[in-house]
Chain A
């Protein structure tokens, strides 16, 4: 049978963000995939070299909207390590609470989207209703609904109040019971299982060679979770289980997220109970000399910020490695041998975040071939804005 090239993207209903995949198909079966990333490249790594850590923190937050807390914690950790500053224990616990609430909202968002991809819209509505509860708590904790601006280099910006602590202790166990019910639905309902069980299988050792991270690799039975393998903040004091599934298919990757949502509610409740007293922020010197590396387990996997400072107010080099970028070689392997109709389900199972992947529009560079065509916001408004 002859091979046909099927282009999906950059704009396609099955993808929620702009990215292009060239699928080589034989009949209905995918035989090869060539990804082309970079549609949302923003030059953040270069821009970071011109920013102080106060400005850089807000830039790091805008790498990815959904997992903004892991990126800021990661940036702050890297700078703190370079400046040799120790964060007060209360700030560490508050960071853990913010990180876990962010993870909970991200997992519920993905599970809702996954249900919608399979045409199970009732479940989508239910998941997103419960996500709203998490968003409210998150807003009350950080002051903002999505992009939180909660983390500061040296600590956090706001303290948690006693009424909010009580509110979380009251609401989160209720959410736990609801997620338990959804877990039963997801593992038994044929609408979900028929589309996901034995779809997109890949073995753990293959994923390790391809460098996959996060729930993608834990769905294949590999116990790799940065909270466990390289504990940061207060995770070495908090007891928790690393969730792994042995199946290695799309169903397992979704179920890792459901079980993680249950586990992290326990982590939040433990952290609220053991919250130490004391200050929430320390001072960090403006000029830094040293090298630091922050690694944080984001909802999609491991985030890495590597920063090098040479005694100035701006870094010499700042490197960001995001989880979906690491998962792309893995997901391309997963598509092979499955049908075209399975593409959205398999892609959804790694929880793709392409804004995160590309991170770094057009760079305003002093290129010899002439300046690139750019438009100011006024020009765009004049041309496209219609009332």
Chain B
């Protein structure tokens, strides 16, 4: 476990939770990094996100929620990084978890978590239309923000789609 130099000591409950987490998912964790006493970043292996999020949601049913799903396009490493951000807050135990998962750029397919967290519906739809990540099992992958006549297979937030400076005048 990496801990930044600035943090003197972790709150007891946070370290207890992280130990329990590491014990539960021994094979599925690549790296744990504690950034602040209230924030931790965990790199996990591919397709293990569903199990982990389900475990967290079952452990804290009345005090945790999925903040967002975010994708980063690392075109130089030929992979996407998907980040699941979860906030847990039960009395004095406050932790913001970021689960990072790397998937290959030429085969961007991951399992959906909409059956575990129904709030992920829009986030997964957005990541599909902006990056082309296919969420297997999502009930309706379609357009969220983009217009209906948007061409297929053009994913605007990917790094190989370029903004153009000048627009040719029509009319």
Q: Are B119 and A223 in contact (CB under 8 A)?
A: no
Chain A residues with CB below 8 A from B121, complex form: 329
Q: Are B146 and A366 in contact (CB under 8 A)?
A: no
Binds A, one of B9-17, B44-52, B62-70, B102-110: B62-70
Q: Are A211 and B66 in contact (CB under 8 A)?
A: yes
Q: Are B156 and A46 in contact (CB under 8 A)?
A: yes
**Which residues of chain A (124-165) have a CB below 8 Å from chain B?**
none
Known contacts A37-B144, A43-B156; A304 and B164 CB within 8 A of each other:
no
Q: Are B119 and A41 in contact (CB under 8 A)?
A: no
What's the Cα separation between A209 and B145 when bound, in Å? 23
Q: Are B170 and A371 in contact (CB under 8 A)?
A: yes
Which B residues are within 8 Å of any A CB, using their own CB?
38-39, 57, 61-68, 70, 72-73, 83, 85, 87, 89, 94, 96, 98, 117-122, 130, 143-147, 151, 154, 156-157, 161-164, 167-171
Q: Name the distance in Å between B163's Cβ and chain A's nearest Cβ.
A: 6
Known contacts A211-B66, A223-B89; A364 and B167 CB within 8 A of each other:
yes
Extra A-B contacts (16), CB below 8 Å, given A208-B62, A211-B66, A317-B72: A38-B143, A38-B146, A41-B146, A43-B156, A46-B156, A46-B163, A47-B163, A205-B62, A211-B119, A211-B120, A222-B62, A230-B39, A230-B94, A321-B67, A364-B164, A365-B161
Q: Are A368 and B151 in contact (CB under 8 A)?
A: yes
Known contacts A205-B61, A360-B145, A374-B170; A367 and B94 CB within 8 A of each other:
no
- In-complex Cβ contact of B118 among A45, A228, A329, A364 (8 A): A329
Q: Are B119 and A229 in contact (CB under 8 A)?
A: no
Known contacts A209-B118, A371-B167, A374-B170; A363 and B156 CB within 8 A of each other:
yes
Known contacts A230-B38, A367-B151; A41 and B145 CB within 8 A of each other:
yes
Chain B residues with CB below 8 A from A212, complex form: 65, 119
Q: Are B68 and A321 in contact (CB under 8 A)?
A: yes
Kindly report which residue of chain B lies nearest to residue A330, judged by CB atoms. B119
Chain A residues with CB below 8 A from B120, complex form: 211
Known contacts A302-B67, A364-B164, A365-B164; A210 and B119 CB within 8 A of each other:
yes
Tell me the count of chain A residues lying within 8 A, CB to CB, of chain B.
54
- A379 on the B face (CB < 8 A): yes
- A282 on the B face (CB < 8 A): no
Chain B residues with CB below 8 A from A122, complex form: none
Which A residues are within 8 Å of any B CB, using their own CB?
37-38, 41, 43, 45-47, 50, 204-205, 208-213, 222-224, 228-230, 293, 295, 302, 304, 306, 308, 316-317, 319, 321, 325-326, 328-330, 358, 360, 362-369, 371-376, 379
Q: Name the distance in Å between A331's Cβ and chain B's nearest Cβ.
A: 12
Can you sample 10 A-B contacts with CB below 8 Å? Answer: A38-B145, A41-B145, A209-B57, A222-B62, A230-B96, A304-B68, A316-B72, A325-B122, A329-B122, A363-B156
Q: Are A208 and B65 in contact (CB under 8 A)?
A: yes
What's the Cα separation between A308 and B100 when bound, in Å? 14
Q: Are B70 and A50 in contact (CB under 8 A)?
A: no
Interface-centre pick from B38, B66, B167, B168 (highest chain A CB count, 10 A) = B167
Chain A residues with CB below 8 A from B156, complex form: 43, 46, 363, 365
